[in-house]
Amino acid sequence: QVQLVESGGGLVQAGGSLRLSCAASGRTFSRYTMGWFRQAPGKEREFVASTSWSDGNTYYADSVKGRFTISRDNAKNTVNLQMNSLKPEDTAVYYCAADPRSGFRGNEYDYWGQGTQVTVSS
């Protein structure tokens, strides 16, 4: 089993920055697809960003492209999400996710963290 724990959430003013981290324990995820999702109250969970072991590429939702950066450190079993130029509409619970399929591009990941709250004030 893989366990994921997010950290780094908090309150920030519009235009500010936050860095989220996801620490994994258990089986190494060096070959896993790693992703970040978010869910706001009354809204569906949405994809934010992912990174694929198979080709090393990163993928972003249009709403965050150019502002957010996903990165991973396989030796430390850690994935990060650097969030810059934050907007009120970024307010949500952010979830780290992992899937054993190295090139996975879907939303049904096998493993999920508990989430961390990000609140952006206007």
- How far apart are the C-alpha atoms of 58 and 39, rounded to whole Å? 21
On the question of pLDDT at 54 being above 90, the answer is no
pLDDT tens digits, one per residue of 4-47:
999 999 999 999 999 999 998 876 667 889 999 999 999 999 99
**Residue 118, SS3 per DSSP:** strand
> What radius of gyration do the chain's Cα atoms show?
13
